[in-house]
Structure 1
């Protein structure tokens, strides 16, 4: 069974890769490994060595600390039900649809993005 830290780091790799619209194959080529290894890293099935994490961080243009952000919250929330946490899923970063929505949101011009944000806030208050 994968260790919780390996799963978290793998999810953060996948999250960043999705945000920059990079495929597993592209990341693997930049790091010098096969894409199947990236798949194993992202699921937490295989641990990422320190040197490999360094290479992945450079390829994804983030500091290594990025992969550990939110780790303490993940550990605290491990036993809690999502309903206990304000209706937001624990693994929001692992949700491809949510990441696609964020990427699309930031592609909208700023003035229109602000109006869309205000509309979303009003709609969520109504629901």
Structure 2
């Protein structure tokens, strides 16, 4: 049985990998493992050791704490908002985020405000 913390950490690995535009193969090569192991980490099937998580964090350019962000809220937030429960595994949502952060900051702020107004009007 998958432990909820392992699943959460795996989702965060996938999220960051997607945001960087890194493939499972590229990440695996950078930490010295096979891409199938990355797949198992991302689904929470296999638990990530501390040293391996350290290597993954370094390869993805984040601190270890990134993988645990939101863990406390994940149980509380289930069903508490309008977002799909598994948004970090939604390819379209991650692609939208990647595209959003590719926009220059001043334009990104304007787009954000537009999205907020549109969502409130809906």
Matched, 1:124 2:114: no
Matched, 1:42 2:37: no
CA distance in 1 between counterparts of 2:120 and 2:76 reads 28
Using the size of structure 1 for normalisation, the TM-score is: 0.88
Aligned residue pairs total 122
Q: Could you say what the CA RMSD is over the residues aligned between the two structures, in angstroms?
A: 1.4
CA distance in 2 between counterparts of 1:60 and 1:47 reads 18
Within the candidate set 97, 100, 104, 1:102 is matched to 97
CA distance in 2 between counterparts of 1:103 and 1:76 reads 27
Q: Offset at 1:100?
A: 0.9
Using the size of structure 2 for normalisation, the TM-score is: 0.91
Q: 1:68 matched to which residue of 2?
A: 68
Matched, 1:111 2:120: no
Of the two, which has the highest radius of gyration? 1
Distance change in 2, residues 1:115/1:76 (3 Å): closer
Provide the secondary structure at the position in 1 that maps to 2:84.
Answer: coil
Q: 1:51 matched to which residue of 2?
A: 51
CA distance in 1 between counterparts of 2:7 and 2:72 reads 13
Could you list the structure 1 runs, at least 4 aligned residues long, displaced by more than 3 angstroms after superposition.
Answer: none
Distance change in 2, residues 1:74/1:86 (3 Å): closer
List runs of 5+ in structure 1 lacking aligned partners: none
Q: Deviations over 1:21-48 (max 9, x none)?
A: 0000000000000000000000000011
